[in-house]
């Protein structure tokens, strides 16, 4: 039995049955990471020593009896913008290169209380700003399916780690597609929960009205399993919703889609969509129909406005959130500065990379006197129109099905010199964040070049169960998840 090849839920069952110990799990993943990490570069920090200690402590606390906390003994990778007490959390930025959080994010506290094993912290675009991990201050991660291609971003390290079997599952964060797009590029499952479903306390803020933590996993069952372990109301996050957490695993009992109405928005199949992607997504829609779903054409007429709306709102919020990096309370401080203003200016010059600076500049511009109404106010109003489009669609259908990305994974450097082109590639994922609704990305085929293609299902707020049920039925009726990358 190769432990690293098991899904999270398979490993959980074996662990609970006493067929595998935490120490064996840590050893197996240590070997696997040793084999492939030099090629994939998924991790910023590997918790090699502390994970061994965690496993020993767990073994000692168990003393012969088996407990069934869902994540007990489960080896997970965590995106490096989620605070882990005592383990460096860098946000892939020079600014936080030496930052060791004095507290755990709420999702980490929940996992720790269940006895999870932290394998390490995964790479991302600096401060989660990007779609390729090329903006990481520590160098990019690589796509396990083709090392010349990006893994996507910003949670590219998490998606690559899951695809390369360097962890059983991972957490990512999604502000404009940062869980779903890398999941699609790496051929794994990524779930962005409803805004408010998962506490963001301890998630280093990028755009507070959009950010959400979610699972990146080997299959849909694992996504349901891990979401259940991290979801729920948190008094420490005033934007977390006081909505009961259902048993997401129960959503997987039904294997058909009878009585489900599924909408296909014409706007998501417009020009610019790669033919391989279109073919795979169209075939998936036929499969959803064969499973008993009723397919209906719908409209999301303001889809074209999403990129512009997003890049005003997200950068405005980011420029405000990132004002805290001033070289005083934590993080980098520039040396040889003449006064406090000079210290601020130089610290931020040295600490931030080009994309972060670009977004701070854009956000500051759209919030500045004389431009606020024309840009920020306008974008907030258009955001309302985009939400209204989703509200109207969800009166007609239970789910919306779309591609995740216009193309499969691109090569390094293909878009990094042209920020607007990079932004436009987020077109299919960002309206979901603007509307605050949940969405899942799951594999639905491969391009002719052998790169994975993702299918996106979008649901009503707090109806993750419907998403998971449909995703599971589709996954079980197809074979995509069986294919694994050969890393070379």
Partner 1 sequence: MEITKQEVEKVAKLARLELTESEKAAFTKQLSQILTHVETLKQYDTTGVEPTATVLGQVNVFRPDEARPSLPVERAVANAPESADGFFVVPKIIEDRQPL
Instruction: Name residue 213's beta-bridge partners.
Output: 173
- Out of 17, 341, 482, 486, name the contact with partner 1 by CB under 8 A: 341
Best CA proximity match to 18, nearest among 57, 63, 50, 80: 63
Tokens 């995964």 correspond to 122
Please report the DSSP string for 182-249 in residue order: HHHHHTSEEEEPPTTSB--TTBPPS-TTT--EEEEESSHHHHHHHHHHHBS--TT-TTS---PPP-GG
- Judge residue 477's burial from the number of C-beta atoms within 10 Å of its C-beta, 0-12 exposed, 13-18 middle, 19 or more buried: middle
Q: Assess 201 for contact with partner 1 (CB under 8 A).
A: no
The catalytic site residues sit at 79, 154, 178
By CB under 8 A, residue 394 contacts partner 1 = no
List the one residue from 358, 481, 483, 484 that touches partner 1 (CB under 8 A): 358
User: Min. distance of Cβ 278 from partner 1 in angstroms?
Assistant: 24
How far apart are the C-alpha atoms of 44 and 441, rounded to whole Å?
24
According to CB under 8 A, which one of 260, 379, 455, 487 is a site residue for partner 1? 379
Question: Mind giving me the DSSP string for 133-146?
Answer: STT-TT----BTTB
Q: State yes or no: residue 337 binds partner 1 (CB under 8 A).
A: yes
244 binds partner 1 (CB under 8 A): no
CA dihedral 431, 275, 407, 362 (to 10 degrees): -50
Select from 62, 249, 308, 414 the one that contacts partner 1 (CB under 8 A).
308
Smallest separation (angstroms) from partner 1 to the CB of 373: 10
Q: Provide the 10 A C-beta neighbour count for residue 106.
A: 24
**Least Å distance between CB 319 and partner 1?**
6
List the one residue from 327, 353, 403, 485 that touches partner 1 (CB under 8 A): 327
Q: Does 205 bind partner 1 (CB under 8 A)?
A: no
Pairing between strand 213-217 and 189-192?
Answer: antiparallel
Confirm if 144 and 183 have CB atoms less than 8 A apart: no
Instruction: Give the phi and the psi of residue 419 in degrees, each rounded to 5.
Output: -55, -40
Separation CA 376–CA 309 (nearest Å): 9
The smaller minimum CB distance to partner 1, of residues 254 and 378, is found at 378
Least separation in angstroms between residue 329's CB and partner 1 is 6
Q: Please choose, from the candidates 93, 75, 161, the residue with its C-alpha nearest in 3D space to the C-alpha of residue 122.
A: 161
For residue 43, what is the DSSP state? Answer: E
Binding residues with partner 1: total (CB under 8 A): 70
Nearer to partner 1, 56 or 368 (CB): 368
98 binds partner 1 (CB under 8 A): yes
Is residue 340 involved in binding partner 1 (CB under 8 A)?
Answer: yes
Binding to partner 1 (CB under 8 A) within 402-461 occurs at: 419-420, 423, 434-436, 461
Q: Does 391 bind partner 1 (CB under 8 A)?
A: no
Q: Which of residues 138-197 bind partner 1 (CB under 8 A)?
A: 195-196
Nearer to partner 1, 61 or 98 (CB): 98
Question: Is residue 270 within the footprint of partner 1 (CB under 8 A)?
Answer: no
At 476 the three-state DSSP class reads helix
Asked if 344 interacts with partner 1 (CB under 8 A), we say yes
Residue 105 binding partner 1, by CB under 8 A: no
Helices 22-40 and 8-16 pack at an angle, to 10 degrees, of: 160
According to CB under 8 A, which one of 57, 59, 385, 449 is a site residue for partner 1? 385
Our CB check for partner 1 shows the closer of 12 and 415 to be: 415
Minimum separation from the CB atom of position 320 to partner 1 (A): 10
Q: Using alpha carbons, list the distances in angstroms from residue 329 to 324, 339, 350.
A: 9, 16, 16
Bridging pattern class, strands 294-298 and 439-446 = unpaired
Q: Is 241 in the site for partner 1 (CB under 8 A)?
A: yes
Q: Which residues bind partner 1 (CB under 8 A)?
A: 98-100, 102-103, 195-196, 209, 235, 238-239, 241, 302, 304-305, 307-309, 311-312, 319, 323, 326-333, 337-341, 343-346, 348-349, 352, 354, 357-358, 360-362, 364-366, 368, 375, 377-385, 387, 419-420, 423, 434-436, 461
């Amino acid at each position: 039995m190769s432990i690293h090849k098991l899904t999270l839920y398979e490993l959980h069952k074996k662990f609970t049955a006493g067929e595998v110990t935490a120490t064996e799990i840590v050893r197996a993943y240590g070997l696997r990471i040793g084999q492939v990490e030099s090629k994939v570069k998924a991790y910023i920090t590997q918790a090699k020593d502390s994970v061994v200690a965690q496993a020993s402590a767990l073994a000692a606390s168990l003393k012969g009896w088996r407990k069934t906390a869902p994540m007990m003994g489960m080896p997970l990778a965590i995106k490096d913008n989620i605070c882990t007490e005592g383990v460096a959390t860098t946000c892939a930025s020079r600014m936080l290169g030496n930052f060791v959080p004095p507290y755990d994010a709420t999702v980490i506290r929940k996992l720790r209380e269940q006895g999870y094993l932290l394998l390490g912290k995964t790479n991302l675009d600096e401060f989660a700003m990007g779609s390729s991990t090329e903006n990481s201050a520590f160098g990019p991660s690589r796509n396990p399916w083709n090392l010349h291609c990006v893994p996507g971003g910003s949670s590219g390290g998490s998606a690559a780690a899951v695809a390369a079997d360097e962890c059983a599952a991972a957490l990512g964060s999604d502000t404009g597609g940062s869980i779903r797009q890398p999941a699609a590029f790496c051929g794994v499952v990524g779930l962005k929960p409803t805004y408010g479903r998962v506490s963001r306390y301890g998630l280093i803020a990028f755009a507070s009205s959009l950010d959400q933590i979610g699972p990146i996993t080997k299959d849909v069952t694992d996504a349901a399993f891990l979401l259940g372990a991290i979801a729920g109301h948190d008094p420490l996050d005033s934007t977390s919703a006081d909505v009961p957490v259902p048993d997401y695993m129960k959503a997987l009992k039904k294997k058909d889609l009878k009585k489900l109405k599924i909408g296909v928005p014409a706007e998501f199949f417009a020009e610019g969509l790669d033919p391989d992607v279109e073919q795979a997504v169209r075939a998936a829609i036929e499969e959803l129909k064969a499973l008993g779903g009723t397919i209906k054409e719908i409209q999301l007429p303001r889809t074209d406005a999403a990129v512009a709306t997003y890049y005003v709102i997200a950068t405005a919020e980011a420029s405000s959130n990132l004002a805290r990096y001033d070289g005083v309370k934590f993080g980098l401080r520039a040396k040889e500065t003449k006064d406090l203003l000079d210290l601020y200016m130089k610290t931020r010059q040295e600490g931030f990379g080009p994309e972060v600076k670009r977004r701070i500049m854009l956000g500051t511009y759209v919030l500045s006197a004389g431009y606020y109404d024309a840009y920020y106010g306008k974008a907030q109003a258009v955001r309302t129109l985009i939400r209204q489009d989703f509200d109207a669609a969800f009166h007609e259908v239970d789910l919306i099905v779309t591609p995740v990305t216009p193309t499969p994974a691109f090569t390094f450097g293909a878009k990094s010199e042209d920020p607007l082109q990079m932004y436009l590639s987020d077109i299919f994922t960002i309206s979901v964040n603007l509307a605050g609704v949940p969405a899942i990305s799951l594999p639905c085929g491969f391009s002719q070049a052998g790169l994975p293609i993702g299918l996106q299902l979008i649901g009503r707020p707090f109806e993750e169960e419907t998403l998971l049920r449909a995703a599971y039925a589709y996954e079980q009726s197809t074979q995509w998840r069986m294919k694994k990358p050969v890393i070379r």
